[in-house]
A = this chain, B = another copy of it.
Amino acid sequence: MTKLLGDLEPVYVVGAGWHRYQRLSQVGYVDLGLTAVRGALDDAGLAWGDVDESFIGTGHLGMAVGRPMLKHLGALGKPLVHVENASASGSAAFRLGCVHVAAGISDVALVLGVDKPRSIYRAPTGTHGLADDAIVPFTHFSLLSGAYTAASGVTDEDLAQIAVKNHRNGSLNPNAHRQQERTLEEVLGGRRTAGSLTSLQCCPVGEGAAAVIVASAGAIARLGIDPAKAIRVASSATVTETTTSSDQEVTREVIARALHEAQTPPSEVDVFELHDAFTIEEAQYVEASGIAPPGKYVPMLKEGAFDIGGQCAVSTSGGLLAMGHPIGPTGVGQIGEIALQLRGSAGPRQHPGARVGLAHMVGLGAVGYAHVLRKD
């Protein structure tokens, strides 16, 4: 039988750092990445020499970008590897870092997500006809929005409220790409991308970086890391699509596994960072997680259940809609946000009493990741 992360040695997130997510600029990726790494090391109170191994999630940057970045901190001979799983690249890098620390291969692992936007290259498959009906994400999620509103009786305005909430959260986050509160009228009035979707209901894909430090209990003691900063990674789950599964079904499966492994019912989740690249996704995935019953997401949203201070604060960071989605950093930044929330260090966007967090990403609708973090 295979083991779960929780069957191995306990793993903790002990530091988090960011470079603000933003529009493509003249700043090099090396500066983006190093800003996040230095922030995470400072936050953990660690030096570069304390890190045993580095996992770098990136989707856009091309070959071997870790070397010229990390050697600025000192070329110490420590292992590094680059990881890519489309939108879930950072989540994949985080899982690998957790597994290596939990297995004892490393005591302290750096997980870094860094990217600058670039037209996405995917090698041609050399097979024909399998994807003739493929549609672009805008259209796909617009169609899903239409199906959801038709089935549940909610309105386009209801779904647009998701963007209002997440932009409000993003306005409280100095690392967010979008830091401006938006009214319902502004969200609905923006440029239409497809069907009922407007631009503020679609995430910005810019540049940025996020880093977290993962450590064992032994390293926390040995290196004198503040135990109050150590947030336990209670579970790690990843699945890919099955023959017929949708993003929502991948999400249902992977979150169910992560919650089961963490022995956590959905009702215990205090903060939830999820893959809200489009507003409809938040509705679908909150229902897929079990935090809202099927069809109940919108009524709960209207009651404030997903606000900071509500039943379960969803996307306190601003989510992909306001925090942004620079690909490599996204999944790492989610973990960092949850760590801050569970420490009680999230400043003006702090969700009171947060003790359990859930992070979720989907890569290209095919690869799902979910992690549960818990304040011991």
Given the known interface contacts A63-B59, A86-B64, A363-B64, the answer about A103 and B96 at a Cβ–Cβ threshold of 8 Å is no
Q: Are B52 and A2 in contact (CB under 8 A)?
A: yes
CA distance in complex: A72, B7 (Å): 32
Q: Are B126 and A76 in contact (CB under 8 A)?
A: no
Q: Are A103 and B3 in contact (CB under 8 A)?
A: yes
Interface residues contributed by chain A, number (CB under 8 Å): 73
A62 at the interface (CB under 8 A from B): yes
Contact with B along A286-317 (1 / 0, CB 8 A): 00000000000000000000000000000000
A337 at the interface (CB under 8 A from B): no
Q: Are A29 and B81 in contact (CB under 8 A)?
A: no
Looking at the complex, which one of B96, B243, B367 makes contact with A67 (CB distance below 8 Å)? B367
CA distance in complex: A367, B104 (Å): 21
CA distance in complex: A28, B122 (Å): 12
Chain B minimum-CB-distance residue to A59: B63
Q: Are A84 and B68 in contact (CB under 8 A)?
A: no
Tell me the smallest distance from the CB of A106 to a CB of chain B, in Å.
Answer: 6
Q: Are B242 and A124 in contact (CB under 8 A)?
A: no
Q: Are B83 and A82 in contact (CB under 8 A)?
A: yes
Tell me the smallest distance from the CB of A220 to a CB of chain B, in Å.
Answer: 15
A116 at the interface (CB under 8 A from B): yes
Taking CB atoms, residues of chain B closer than 8 Å to A4 are 105
CA distance in complex: A131, B82 (Å): 22
Q: Which of A178-186, A192-200, A233-241, A339-347 contacts B (4 or more CB under 8 A)?
A: A233-241
Tell me the smallest distance from the CB of A103 to a CB of chain B, in Å.
Answer: 4
Nearest first, the 4 A-B pairs at minimum CB distance are: A28-B126, A62-B121, A103-B103, A3-B104
Contact surface of A with B, Cβ cutoff 8 Å: 1-5, 7-8, 26-31, 52, 59-65, 67-69, 71-72, 74-86, 92, 96, 99-100, 102-107, 116, 118, 120-127, 130-131, 238-243, 245, 253, 363-364, 366-367
A-B pairs with beta carbons under 8 Å apart, 10 shown: A3-B104, A29-B124, A62-B120, A65-B123, A67-B240, A67-B241, A67-B364, A74-B243, A79-B240, A81-B92
